[in-house]
Structure 1
Amino acid sequence: MEIEPIIHVQGLEKSYGELDVLRGVDFDVARGSIFALLGSNGAGKTTVVRILATLLKADAGTAGVNGFDVATEPAKVRESFSLTGQFAAVDEILTGRENLVLVARLRHLDDPGALADDLLDRFGLTEAAARKVSTYSGGMRRRLDIAMSLIGDPPVIFLDEPTTGLDPEGRLEVWQTVEQLAGRGTTVLLTTQYLDEAERLADRIAILHQGRIIANGTLDELKKLLPPAKAEYVEKQPTLEEIFLAIIGTNHEEQA
């Protein structure tokens, strides 16, 4: 018996005047998976997310989240997801814990303090809980932003270019957070323009180009679309990211 996808998109179209942004987009996302929508700037990634989040109406096609249609059941759709945009939506005047407690109270949840403490622990922010967010690094702000999105336990989270503007260390922190989300059963729809990000995180990758999905599959399936590589011996060199993180780790140990 085939399991119904938690996100279903079929024939999605959207235009702004004479500019066709989406020209028949189709994809499904399996429950509990990480799905990466990969594309360059202007490919239409954010437009897809905004339609799924009921913030924008499609010109044609259908889309559903958690079994609910975005056009006819928008209230049910909104109860099923949380959205984290390209820039962290946190209050810098408040502490990390106060941000979480505020959101929990706005959603009328029981024991907001306990919810906040649990999320701070999950996202490695307990030691910074009493500090104002204005003192947080970019990676810490993004982790707090994602933690705020999870208040209420939505089954789906949309992450729209979550590592934009972060340094290598901050990007790694966010990647680890996303992997933990999926490990707990949350479905993640991730939009990104970074190839390494999609390669590291995604169970499936859809490539959006000029308003259409031109490839969709696992990393192994996408690799098979290219001709076989000629086998040659090449000494592996460390990447700049590996060098950077190794040096940072060494310095941290010396200062400890």
Structure 2
Amino acid sequence: MANGRLQKFKAVITGGSDGIGLAIATAFAREAAELWLIARDGEKLASAADELRASGATVHFTAADLTDPSAIQQVYAEITQSWDTVDVLVNNAGIARFTDFAEVSQDEIQAQVQLNLLTPFLLTQTLLPLLVKAQGNVINISSTSAHRLIPGRPASVYAMTKGGLNSLTKALALELGPVGVRVNAIAPGTINTPLTQKMIASFSEQRKAEYDEFVRQSFALGRLGEPEDVAKLAVHLASSDAKWMTGSVCLVDGGLSTN
């Protein structure tokens, strides 16, 4: 840990209390990064921080609802009390609602657009001086849903926000490259997170069997991804190993996009 690839890096991770965010935090800690986790549920966040500290990591955290734009200023104020640079910002926090297009409500649109697209924009903008000072980088967590939809799972708003996030990644990579900040995205397929497990647990036995068959047929590797599959790529993108990578949207989808 003392000689990790992210030694002396300061990393901010949104949605860091479980799932992909916690896996990225764990992988970053293993590579000796100092962490600042942000999530809405303060209790889960404190538990995640304790778990990471037990392994020797230095962890700060801020409980904040990032669907509220004013929370971004709260996050900035807390971070800048302790740090004057940020080496890595991972925009991972997100929300997915799979509602038939004709039934989507204005509130549902607003919540997903705010958290999945506007929050990464505004948080990156707010932390930009700290990123520039560190010559740091941004990793946006997108989704294969931006370009590859799953039959029977209506995702008009979610796909729209993740497509927008991919476009934002490329636009910022071009604009921020001259000031030394790299911007990349990771687009996972379906990952075996607590949310995915909860979704599958709600299925009828017949639906579970159909879903298992879909996974076997549609993912070239025949299984869902694990949070660690995303985290390992995040470490690479954050590190100097990827110093000539910017504007990339990297698929981690077990081959879903091949068909």
- TM-score w.r.t. length of structure 1: 0.32
Higher RCO, 1 vs 2 (CA within 8 Å, ≥6 residues apart): 1
Name the structure with the higher strand share.
Answer: 1
Report which of the two structures shows the higher radius of gyration computed on alpha carbons.
Answer: 1
